[in-house]
Chain A
Amino acid sequence: MTKAPKILTELFWLEHLHRIEAYLDRGGYQALKKALTEMKPEQVQEEVKKANLRGRGGAGFPAGVKWGFIPKGTDKPKYLCVNADEGEPGTFKDRYILNHNPHLLIEGIVLAAYAVGIHSAYVYIRGEYEMIARRLEQAVAEAYAKGYLGRNILGAGFDLDLVVHRGAGAYICGEETALLESLEGKRGNPRLKPPFPALVGLFQCPTVINNVETLSNVPFIVQKGAAWFLEQGLPKDGGTRLFGVSGAVAKPGLYELPAGTSLREIITTHAGGMKDGKKLKAVIPGGMSSPILRADEIDVRMDVDSIAAAGSMLGSGAIIVIDEGTPILHVLRKIAKFYAHESCGQCTPCRLGTSWIHKIVERMAAGGGTRGDVDTLIRLAGNIKGRTLCPLGDAAAMPVTAIAQKFRTELEATLERSPVWP
């Protein structure tokens, strides 16, 4: 069994960790002190790059490389946006960090801002996390009071302002350019890329957007170095991942494990295996947008590259376990409903395609499915994937294609039959 190192989650058991006194007591803000007093910004950036810190929001893009896209010597203000929208179904890891260890995130934010030369940061937190946002705001106030935010941080001459900004219920705002639009007070419609946010971002200025978990790793990289970080994971995918397991397992919960841990191990060993003796049917390995894996496909390593090679994706590391007692049509129904509801409506294939797929699946669930419906679903999903303005189209299409292909027999058995259980 893989050792479960406790890096991010080490202190989660500590009841008052979210108070700055407790955080400082446990060595908090030491990495920030080190960076501000002993390291140049470029050195911090270089360390994060060497550590191969892959983005933990879903795309897996290396954070250090992303930071490097910000133009040097621009006279425009630069911004850092923290993506705390956490809308990918099955995902709850950022909630843990925000709720239990907000100062870890704040420290990561200041370090990232220092590395890139940013003086204004916004945490975009989903509106449903209202109570957590209040706790985060409390932590931010504490950080300001103690000089870890604001003017002349730790007397090192570095300024950073941090604002907590609430979303209002739109999954699409987890997409980085939609997040920017929303932060600017508009509808969450994604923008055309290019130009990329690194050049034209928030308020048309160079902007870095990073996920909560990604930034929370930065203090550890700075404190203990890139080499150490790589040892905790894999050469191309350093550090641990926070895997959120839910569904038909005995112990749903958050599991911090090295990148590259086997999916089977996560489910059967760490999450306690199937609940109540149920049989495993399928697993959605990286949040709802990731292609489903059959029970015989779960011997896959959970790091960005390995699972991509296996035809799925690591995404947000949210593992949803489905048992034999759940009709696959029911799973498909929840998926189709979700994307139809969350499509922003801007581009043709997603706006109309997600709705059409939703209508077909609903008809199938009501017993009105007919021959050809499964092929139609695959064809429609194929007309969405790769054709849309933003990745939500792909996120809507891939699960439908995967389910329709891998569970075709079961789906076709529902056609011209009586209604499925709701």
Chain B
Amino acid sequence: MSPVLSAALAKKIDDLAARYPAKQAALLPVLHLVQNEKGFLSAEDEQAVAERLGILPVKVREVVTFYTMFRRSPVGTYHIQVCTNLSCSLAGGDGLVEHLEARLGISLGGTTADGKFTLTGVECLGACEQAPCLMINFDYYGNLDAAGLDRILEGLA
């Protein structure tokens, strides 16, 4: 059975941990690393990370469940995170949510049947001058209207 963390991943974790006087301090960057590679954080990932950093699995789960960006279940190939905060709403962001829900046939929090898109609502992304905006995986898109949004979605493989 293959190990939970590949040798390459384990090495990257060790490198990250070496940047801090205490290994636990590397936990957030390490969880990002593992999540980016595996798509989400499973209980086995929690335990493997815990072991690698010399902390208890319960402490890892405390962190995984605290921070919005850490996921305990898979998301689609494209994770569309729409800002639902004030400035984006003032620029029509709530309409974008409706448009996406209709176009993708899912509601906020859901994933399309083909596993391509997951749609979530998030708080302020820090791009209010380009409201309304959203983030797909790590890419920001701003100044959106329904047409522009459609073009982006079509452009995604």
Contact = CB atoms under 8 A, between A and B. Distances in A.
Interface stretch (B3-11, B111-119, B133-141, B145-153): B133-141
A27 interface: no
B106 interface: no
Given A248-B90, A320-B87, A330-B89, A203 B21 contact: yes
B124 interface: yes
Interface in B24-38: 24-29, 31-32
Contacts of A129: 126
Given A89-B87, A185-B63, A245-B129, A168 B25 contact: no
Contacts of A320: 86-87, 90, 128
A244 B67 contact: no
A92 B127 contact: yes
A284 B19 CA distance: 40
Contact of A127 (B19, B59, B67): B67
A100 B94 CA distance: 30
Interface in A99-150: 126-131
Given A203-B21, A247-B87, A248-B90, A187 B28 contact: no
A168 B87 contact: no
The interface centre, meaning the residue of A89, A91, A170 with most chain B CB atoms within 10 A of its CB, is: A89
B68 interface: yes
B123 interface: yes
B131 A252 contact: yes
A244 B129 CA distance: 7
B70 interface: yes
Interface residues of A, number: 58
B138 A131 contact: yes
Contacts of B91: 246-247, 252
Nearest to A325: B90
Contacts of A245: 129
A122 B19 CA distance: 10
Interface in A359-396: none
A64 B90 CA distance: 38
Contact of B128 (A90, A126, A182, A188): A90
Contacts of B27: 185-186
A377 B69 CA distance: 31
The majority secondary structure among interface residues of chain A is mixed
A92 B128 contact: yes
B62 interface: yes
The interface centre, meaning the residue of B59, B63, B66, B129 with most chain A CB atoms within 10 A of its CB, is: B129
Interface in B59-105: 59, 62-63, 66-70, 84-87, 89-91, 94
Contacts of B86: 89-90, 247, 284, 288, 320, 331, 334-335, 338
Instruction: Bin the interface of chain B by size.
Output: 35 or more
Contact of A128 (B26, B87, B125): B125
B22 interface: yes
Nearest to B124: A89
A171 B123 contact: yes
A168 B68 contact: yes
A253 interface: yes
Contact of B69 (A86, A87, A169, A248): A169
A173 to B, nearest CB: 8
A184 interface: yes
A397 interface: no
A163 interface: yes
Nearest to A245: B129
Contacts of B126: 86-87, 91-92, 94-95, 126, 128-129
Given A170-B68, A252-B129, A338 B123 contact: yes
A422 interface: yes
B67 A167 contact: yes
A401 B133 CA distance: 29
A42 B103 CA distance: 61
A418 interface: no
Nearest to A341: B123
Nearest to B81: A128
A337 B25 CA distance: 30
15 contacts: A86-B126, A87-B123, A92-B127, A128-B138, A131-B138, A168-B67, A170-B67, A182-B28, A184-B24, A185-B22, A188-B66, A288-B85, A320-B128, A330-B89, A334-B85
Given A131-B139, A185-B53, 19 more contacts: A89-B87, A89-B124, A91-B126, A92-B128, A128-B69, A168-B69, A169-B70, A169-B122, A183-B25, A184-B22, A186-B63, A203-B21, A246-B91, A246-B128, A247-B87, A252-B128, A254-B129, A322-B90, A338-B123
The list of the 3 closest CB pairs from A to B, nearest first, reads: A169-B68, A185-B27, A168-B67
